[in-house]
Amino acid sequence: MKRTLLMLAVLALGAAGARADDVYLLLTNLYAYAHAGDTVAFDGTVSADPNNWWIAYVNGDSANVDAPLVMDDTPFFDNIAGTPLSPGDTLTATLFTIFVPPGTPDAVYTGYFEIDGGGRGIWPSRSNTASDWLDSGYFNVEVGPETAGSGAAPEPATFLVAGAALLLLWRVRNR
């Protein structure tokens, strides 16, 4: 009896791991900084699971970003869409750009990018349409007057003047 239960458990675990997702999306940069008037590019990697038993097709996308930012997915159609992905294939390219219109208020804006497609799978429960959801990624764009993380660093002369001022104050105080 124990042996039968053990065999059933092993078979169940093996069957659960046998079916793999078709395609994965990994956005390279999940957070971007921009000024009003800038265009920011988002790169990503699209890869087919090496355990797939079929060729997967990435045919389209669905995407959104908070207003007033404007998304352009032309790079996705130029670089990725329509490419057949054999098991284990990987493509890395610019997927979309975000334009920050002049006058955009300083804030953090969110968005998502989804890839759609399909393949000729052998799984009866698997849809074989060309517009199945395959994977998605979320991203943020921070808009500000001085982009965070890239603020102007003081020049070395500033430190020299500040140091001289502190030295002078110390000397005057100790007199």
Taking the complete model, does pTM exceed 0.75, yes or no? no
155-167 tens-digit pLDDT: 666 666 666 666 7
Find the helix or strand (DSSP H, E) in which 15 lies.
helix 2-18
- pLDDT score recorded for residue 154: 54
**Sequence ranges of the domains in the chain:** 2-173
For 2-173, which CATH class? mainly beta
Burial (CB count within 10 angstroms: exposed 0-12, middle 13-18, buried 19+), residue 76: buried
- Which has the closest alpha carbon to 90: 18, 24, 29, 19? 24
Contact 143, 106 (CB under 8 A): yes
Q: Which two tokens stand for residue 11?
A: 């078979």
pLDDT score, position 57: 83
pLDDT of residue 122: 45
Residue 103's region, left for phi above 0, alpha for psi from -120 to 50, else beta, is left
CA distance 76 to 93: 8
Q: What is the pLDDT of residue 105?
A: 95
Q: Report yes or no: 73 and 43 within 8 Å, Cβ to Cβ.
A: no
Averaged pLDDT in 10-residue chunks for the chain of 175 residues: 47 39 85 95 93 84 95 94 89 96 96 84 49 88 72 59 68 72
